[in-house]
Homo-oligomer: A and B are copies of this chain.
Amino acid sequence: MRASSLSRQRGVALAFALLTALAGCAHAQPDAQPATQAGAQAADPLPSWNDGPAKQAIVAFVKATTDESSPKFVPPSERIATFDQDGTLWVSHPMYAQVMYCLDRVPAVVKAKPELAKVEPFKTVLSGNREKIAKLSMKDLEKILAATLTGMSVDDFHTQVKEWLETARDPRWKRPYTDLTYLPMQEVLSYLRASGYKTYIVTGGGQDFVRVYAERVYGIPPEQVVGTMGGTKYGYAKDGKPFLTKEPKLLLNDNNGGKPEGIHLMIGRRPHIAFGNSPGDQQMLEYTTAGDGARLAMLVLHDDPKREYAYGPAQGLPDTKVGTFPQALYDEATRQGWVVIRMKDDWKRIFSFEP
């Protein structure tokens, strides 16, 4: 996307993701173990959660809003649940998967347009020099996003992302990125759906990117993925067949105030329950809890350096700048009565591939 059309905020988030991430991707090897515990879920809808305030808040919310005799009952058509993705449903640290995709995609872009090989920032990305890549400017980064996320048909883009997901591996766990979803959150998605809630992803990531795998990975169909939206252009191929081209035109930056705006645009109803993990989600949570009746807002705190990551700096965790959870957000959560999910204490298991 062009510098003029990509908002500074999103650019900053992506740049931070890149800068903090590219240099140091050396992590402990995972203690890869096969998934266990398939059964025993009948009675407890959230078996990967420890009993605590977070689990209790979710269960109490679902019970109150689905019991017709409850004053907090919510009619089925109004049962909307929204989830941020990066850092809320899957690992986003130290780098967003989509940024990794854009960098990995550069060789194919250069192959199609060989003249780019000698042009920055493509030259630097091709060099593989992580230190240099980490120093790329915002403007350079936006050139990479534009070249890898726009200009192709929506069908070609879908195929490109799908192929990448099949081969790309997370540097720490050496697994497909789509394996790195949080099992406790998958349980919340299933539990809410079983309780008549329509579950939506509301992500700062690209709407078309997340749609490629959301149905398979989260059980969320494309029409329930709200993300940062680019325009498309309707046109015709030489054989007369119509197709849509992804344009370098930003329609909506689905971060901060853009989240409620995106929710209004795509859903047209206010959520009753919303999950996030960073300041980019604050407005979605505010918007959710400002509604009448039963509303619940929850924030995932990454405080588990062993099983996942610990970054903050709420509660004195390291400030990594990316998808962070600052003390100000923590204070706001306390003030508003939002419930903080502490990975370390609240989650019995984190990934389905680990015990």
Listed in ascending order, the chain A residues whose CB lies under 8 Å from chain B are 77, 154, 198, 207-208, 211, 215, 221-223, 225, 229, 231-235, 241-242, 244, 251-252, 256-258, 260-261, 264-269, 283, 286-287, 290
Residue in B258, B268, B283, B286 whose beta carbon sits within 8 Å of that of A225 in the complex: B268
Residues of B contacting A251 in the complex (Cβ-Cβ under 8 angstroms): 251-252, 265
Contact, CB under 8 Å: A268 / B223 = yes
Contact, CB under 8 Å: A221 / B154 = no
Of chain B, the residue at the smallest CB distance from A259 is: B234
Q: Known A-B contacts: A231-B252, A232-B264, A242-B286. Give 17 more (CB < 8 A).
A: A207-B268, A221-B269, A222-B267, A222-B268, A223-B223, A223-B266, A223-B268, A223-B269, A229-B265, A231-B261, A232-B265, A234-B258, A242-B283, A242-B287, A244-B261, A251-B265, A266-B266
| CA of A225 to CA of B265, assembled, Å | 10
Residue in B233, B256, B290 whose beta carbon sits within 8 Å of that of A261 in the complex: B233
Residues of B contacting A207 in the complex (Cβ-Cβ under 8 angstroms): 265, 268
Of A208, A231, A261, the most chain B CB neighbours within 10 A belong to A261
Contact, CB under 8 Å: B234 / A287 = yes
| CA of A267 to CA of B264, assembled, Å | 15
Residues of B contacting A256 in the complex (Cβ-Cβ under 8 angstroms): 234
Of chain B, the residue at the smallest CB distance from A158 is: B268
Residues of B contacting A269 in the complex (Cβ-Cβ under 8 angstroms): 221-223
| CA of A222 to CA of B270, assembled, Å | 11
| CA of A265 to CA of B222, assembled, Å | 10
Q: List 30 A-B contacts (CB under 8 A).
A: A77-B215, A154-B264, A198-B223, A208-B268, A211-B268, A221-B268, A221-B269, A222-B267, A222-B268, A222-B269, A223-B223, A223-B266, A223-B267, A225-B268, A229-B265, A231-B261, A232-B261, A232-B264, A232-B265, A233-B257, A234-B257, A234-B258, A234-B260, A234-B261, A241-B290, A242-B287, A242-B290, A251-B251, A251-B265, A266-B266
